[in-house]
């Protein structure tokens, strides 16, 4: 649940689109052809990039923030030990020039780059990394992402000034990818020793290519280039400092205003472009950039402990009754892909299972017949006097949730399954999962490592969906304990197959992050978690 396009104003966004759609359409006739992003001309240093995002998390500490809109800016302030190649999913050097992992994946030793300094002038040492990793678990519920990556940590030791060793109680292969995330971005010693609240309101000192120069809550985050920066990720094309002098992230909650501001040149780039705003932006001096978020796709998370869902045939019938392409075409931004596994296709070790997720209403009906659910008088199937009905709980954290679920409701009705939709406050998301009081919940999880399957579906962890213990556990536990890439891929593939074939949960559609970027902005690139890096970005 980390990526919420348009989390605050889905209703307004839709209304605004209806109301101003025609106005906006006619307003975008100007502008010539222009070259496409990333090409044309040679990079020019200097300039200010103004980026409009939809929300403000109320906090400027990358270790505590989980919302994309705020990660876009904070990612530029901190460096991570490693980076992840968005094309291959491979982990590559950044602050750590190399690392060793014990064969049981419990111990990770990082060899740090020398000469790295934080913007307060202090050097990066093994002790600073240790301070960070010691402090993160204490964030607790304030930094769920970061502390989750370090859960089960036994100790972090500064072996020598530039070597740091992290030891876990259990095998923990996911930790290497976790060191590439913004959540485990390294902050200076002074920052680490501040209280979480203080870090939230005053910001942190990092070693990144940009420095936080101003934060006005609900208004803007301003970053300035750090001239002496010389330790970029091995993935970046430019050496040394960034091209841009200044980055200004404006909080513009209304989707229609973001769109119009980009068209009229008041901003250079915008986040959370929905389907309704696409038409207005196409054909102008704007490029739409999109990338699927890695991790668990949007799915109906079934509660496997409910009597109804103990029967695999019922779960599978729901899986086959959903026409994913229709949902994509009707609701989601152009280019969004229907789920072809429980993992999105941008996740490392994703396996294509599209044929197992193909729409087949006839098969769904025969499965339900075989399970003893017979057609009732009102079209809803019955068995032993009970109706085949389930309640799907959902949360208003994406504008697409409601229309997607209403379509699913119709599709399931066609095979005789009644779906009741119940919207809950976002605040109730965790309590609902923890209490187990649900038939099904609608949600996704962004994570660029397949270990998200273990945290979501292993019966040895929280097991919110009450899966039965079985071979899936074995596959999930073993993938977390292997350093052999080929073997891990094989185990992760097996886990995906088990989840999809058993329909423990019902994968539906991938989440796609879509940005609108003015054509004069070049190399504004997605990183592996479908957030952005702005070191290589230039305006020309």
| Contacts of other proteins in 123-162 (CB under 8 A) | 140-145, 148
Q: What's the chain's length in residues?
A: 540
Q: Choose which of 6, 8, 346, 393 interacts with other proteins (CB under 8 A).
A: 8
Contacts 24+ apart (CB under 8 A), 376-379: 376/416, 379/413, 379/416
Q: Choose which of 49, 52, 166, 503 interacts with other proteins (CB under 8 A).
A: 52
Q: Roughly how many angstroms between the first and final C-alpha of the chain, as a whole number?
A: 36
Select 216 or 370, whichever has its Cβ closest to other proteins: 216
Residues 6+ apart with CB under 8 A from 312: 502, 503
Q: Which stretch binds other proteins (CB under 8 A): 173-181, 263-271, 315-323, 343-351?
A: 263-271
Going by the DSSP 8-state scheme, the letter that residue 354 receives in this structure is: G
Select 251 or 375, whichever has its Cβ closest to other proteins: 251
CB of 307 to other proteins, least distance (A): 24
- Picking from 464, 508, 180, 157, the residue whose alpha carbon sits closest to that of residue 357 is 508
Q: Choose which of 6, 10, 24, 209 interacts with other proteins (CB under 8 A).
A: 24
d(CA 310, CA 313): 9
CB of 256 to other proteins, least distance (A): 6
Q: How many CB atoms lie within 10 A of CB 114?
A: 12
Does 201 sit near other proteins (CB under 8 A)? yes
Does 78 sit near other proteins (CB under 8 A)? no
Q: Choose which of 29, 33, 218, 377 interacts with other proteins (CB under 8 A).
A: 218
Select 261 or 479, whichever has its Cβ closest to other proteins: 261
CB of 216 to other proteins, least distance (A): 7
- Picking from 26, 9, 28, 520, the residue whose alpha carbon sits closest to that of residue 261 is 28
d(CA 320, CA 357): 7
CB of 325 to other proteins, least distance (A): 26
Does 405 sit near other proteins (CB under 8 A)? no
Does 25 sit near other proteins (CB under 8 A)? no
Instruction: Take residue 155 and report the two structure tokens written for it.
Output: 């100790």
Site size for other proteins, by CB under 8 A? 72
Residues 6+ apart with CB under 8 A from 280: 21, 24, 25, 27, 28, 259, 260, 263
Does 1 sit near other proteins (CB under 8 A)? yes
Does 254 sit near other proteins (CB under 8 A)? yes
d(CA 61, CA 183): 9
Does 452 sit near other proteins (CB under 8 A)? yes
CB of 79 to other proteins, least distance (A): 21
Q: Which stretch binds other proteins (CB under 8 A): 321-329, 363-371, 439-447, 516-524?
A: 439-447
CB of 373 to other proteins, least distance (A): 30
- Picking from 398, 406, 445, 399, the residue whose alpha carbon sits closest to that of residue 422 is 406
Supply φ then ψ for residue 538, to 5 degrees: -140, 155
CB of 211 to other proteins, least distance (A): 21
CB of 222 to other proteins, least distance (A): 13
Q: Choose which of 214, 216, 227, 469 interacts with other proteins (CB under 8 A).
A: 216
Does 58 sit near other proteins (CB under 8 A)? yes
Does 455 sit near other proteins (CB under 8 A)? yes
Q: Choose which of 432, 474, 477, 490 interacts with other proteins (CB under 8 A).
A: 432
Instruction: Take residue 392 and report the two structure tokens written for it.
Output: 């799907």
- CB of 538 closer than 8 Å to CB of 285: no
Does 192 sit near other proteins (CB under 8 A)? no
Element (H, E) at 539: strand 538-539
Tell me, letter by letter, the H, E, C secondary structure of 284-322: CCEEEEEEECCEEEEEEEECCCCHHHHCHHHHHHHHHHC
Q: Which stretch binds other proteins (CB under 8 A): 126-134, 229-237, 245-253, 513-521?
A: 245-253
Q: Choose which of 31, 157, 266, 474 interacts with other proteins (CB under 8 A).
A: 266
Residue with tokens 């919420």: 4
Q: Which stretch binds other proteins (CB under 8 A): 109-117, 213-221, 413-421, 473-481?
A: 213-221
- CB of 506 closer than 8 Å to CB of 339: no
Site string for other proteins, 281-300 (x = CB under 8 A): ---------------x----
């Amino acid at each position: 649940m980390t990526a919420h396009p348009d989390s605050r104003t889905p209703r307004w966004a839709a209304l605004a689109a209806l109301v101003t759609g025609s106005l906006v359409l006619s307003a975008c006739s100007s502008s010539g052809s222009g070259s496409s992003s990333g090409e044309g001309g040679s990079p020019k240093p200097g300039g200010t990039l103004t980026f409009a995002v939809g929300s403000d998390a109320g906090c400027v500490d990358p270790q505590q923030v989980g919302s994309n809109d705020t990660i876009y800016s904070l990612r530029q302030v901190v460096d991570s030990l490693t980076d992840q190649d968005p094309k291959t999913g491979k982990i590559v050097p950044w602050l750590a020039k190399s690392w060793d992992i014990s064969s049981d994946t419990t111990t990770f030793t990082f060899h740090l780059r020398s000469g790295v300094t934080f913007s307060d002038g202090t050097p990066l040492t093994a002790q600073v990394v240790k301070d960070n990793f010691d402090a993160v678990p204490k964030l607790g519920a304030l930094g769920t992402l970061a502390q989750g990556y370090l859960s089960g940590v036994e100790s972090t030791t500064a072996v020598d000034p530039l070597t740091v060793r992290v030891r876990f109680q259990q095998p923990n292969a996911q930790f290497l990818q976790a060191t590439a995330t913004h959540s485990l971005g390294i902050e200076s010693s002074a920052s680490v020793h501040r209280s979480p609240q203080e870090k939230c309101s005053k910001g942190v000192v990092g070693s990144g290519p940009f420095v936080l120069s101003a934060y006005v809550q609900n208004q803007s985050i301003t970053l300035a280039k750090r001239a002496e920066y010389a330790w970029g990720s091995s993935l970046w094309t430019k050496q040394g400092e960034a091209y841009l002098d200044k980055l200004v992230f404006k909080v513009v909650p209304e989707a229609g205003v973001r769109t119009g501001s980009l068209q009229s040149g008041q901003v250079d780039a915008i986040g959370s472009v929905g389907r309704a705003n696409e038409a207005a932006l196409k054909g102008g001096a704007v490029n739409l950039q999109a990338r699927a978020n890695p991790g668990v796709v949007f799915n109906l998370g079934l509660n496997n402990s409910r009597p109804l869902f103990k029967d695999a045939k019922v779960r599978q019938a729901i899986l086959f009754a959903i026409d994913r392409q229709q949902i994509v075409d009707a609701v989601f931004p152009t280019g969004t892909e229907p789920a072809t596994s429980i993992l999105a296709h941008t996740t490392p070790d994703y396996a294509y299972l599209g044929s197992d997720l193909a729409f087949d209403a006839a098969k769904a009906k025969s499965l339900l017949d075989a399970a003893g659910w017979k057609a009732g008088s009102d079209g809803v199937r019955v068995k032993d006097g009970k109706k085949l009905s389930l309640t799907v709980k959902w949360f208003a954290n994406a504008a697409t949730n409601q229309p997607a679920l209403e379509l699913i409701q119709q599709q399931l009705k066609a095979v005789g399954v009644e779906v009741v939709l119940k919207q809950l406050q976002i605040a109730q998301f965790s309590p609902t999962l923890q209490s187990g009081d649900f038939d099904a919940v609608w949600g996704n999880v962004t994570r660029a490592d397949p270990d998200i399957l273990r945290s979501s579906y292993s019966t040895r962890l929280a097991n919110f969906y009450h899966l039965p213990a079985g071979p899936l556990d074995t596959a999930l536990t073993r993938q977390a304990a292997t350093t052999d890439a080929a073997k891990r891929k094989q185990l992760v593939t097996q886990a995906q197959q088990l989840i999809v074939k058993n329909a423990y949960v019902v994968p539906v559609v991938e989440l796609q992050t879509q940005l609108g970027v003015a054509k004069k902005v070049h190399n504004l690139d997605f990183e592996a978690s479908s957030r952005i890096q702005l070191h290589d970005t230039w305006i020309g």
